[in-house]
Each structure stands twice: as C-alpha cells, then as structure tokens.
Amino acid sequence: MALSTIFSALDLRDGFYQILMRESDIPLTAVSTPSGMIWEWLVMPQGLKNAPATFNRCVTHLLRSVRSRAPSYFDDVFIHSRGVDGKSEVEMHKEHIGKSFAVMRKHKHYANLKKRIFGAGEIPVLGCLVGKNGVRPDPGKVRVINEWPSPSNVKELRQFLGLAMYLYKYVSNYAGKDRPLSQLLKKDAAWV
C-alpha cells in the first residue's frame, strides 16, 4: 500500500457462508436436533477446525487477479490506488474498485455495504490506520492505553503490559521504556 494516496475497505458479507461445501463433505457436517431432524450444511459453517484457513485461502485465490491493488485478510479487502499515467487518484481508484467488484461478482462474493469505506485518506487495517502518510496506531486504542488505571498488582500489570504491547512497533526503543514495568513482574520485585 506504499505510495498509495486513496483507500477503500470492504467486508465480505457472511464470509464463511459464501463458500460452498464440497459435496462429499456435506454429510460430515450433519447435526441431529432433539426432535430427531438431521441438518447438513451446504455452505461452510463457522466452527469447523479448518474453516478459517480454507476461507482465507479461497478469498486469496479468488482475488489473485487484483491482489496488487486489493489485498485481503480473511473477510476484509483493502483497495488502494494512486494517480498514474495522467489519471488522477480518483480515476485509478474507481478503476481498481470496479475490477475488484467484477471479480467478486463473478465468484458470487458480496460485500457488506454497511461496513465499507470508499475513497478515504486512510483506512483501518488490522488494528492500525493505513494512509498516504504511512501506518499509525488507532487513536481509540491509544486513548484506552492512556486512560488505563495504574496497576496495583502483578495481574493488573500483566494486563496493562499486554495492552500496551500494541504500541511496540510505533515507539522507538519500546523494550527499554517497558523495562522498569517488566522488572516488577519478577518474583522478588518490590512494589512501592
């Protein structure tokens, strides 16, 4: 997404349910109800051990032709563009969105339009914000860390450090700044 200046984000509607079960595997999904009815899944249900990996592999494969401008992560598709060859960023972005939608339509995968972002300067991607100025932490998550109450015992300190670890890639020398708190996790540490 480097050098891109305009972004869109899509969420595939009912992700797993858009993947048909292999016919020979349908009987393996059978569920018996208390009334004696037997139900079988025709689409991939959530909860199967390999469902997330299968879904991600399927979406990645289906979107391979637009991958350079529309990478995906499970049910999220991130479309990014920049102006090239005399075309504006908006023109290029419309083109990339159109190609992405055409591929999705061809394979009968549909986006949840309530959870979409079109033509933005930055979009949320895996817990951070990605935009033309790079990657930055989500301000909401930073606010939660800033407003977290001071830990008063080891359990609370572990919780805080786990949450604050979110910032490690954004803070220079995070480990050095984290060290005084981490030292308090030692068995013989003195809490003042």
As a whole number, mean pLDDT of residues 53-59 equals 94
Residue 105, class by beta-carbon neighbours within 10 Å (0-12 exposed, 13-18 middle, 19+ buried)?
Answer: exposed
Predicted local distance difference test score (pLDDT) of residue 96: 98
Whole-angstrom Cα Rg for the chain = 23
Q: What are the tens digits of pLDDT across the range 1-32?
A: 989 999 999 999 988 898 999 999 999 999 99
Q: Tell me how far the alpha carbon of residue 161 is from its chain's centroid.
A: 22
SS3 163: helix
Q: How far is CA 140 from CA 107, 128, 129, 137, in A?
A: 36, 10, 11, 9
Instruction: Provide, rounded to the nearest whole percent, the portion of the chain with pLDDT above 90.
Output: 88
Among the CATH numbers 3.50.30.10, 3.30.420.40, 3.30.70.270, 3.10.20.30, which is that of 6-119? 3.30.70.270
Predicted local distance difference test score (pLDDT) of residue 119: 97
pLDDT classification of 150: cutoffs 50, 70, 90: very high
Structure-block tokens of residue 159: 């919780």
Q: What are the tens digits of pLDDT across the range 85-135?
A: 999 999 999 999 999 999 999 999 999 989 999 999 999 999 999 999 999
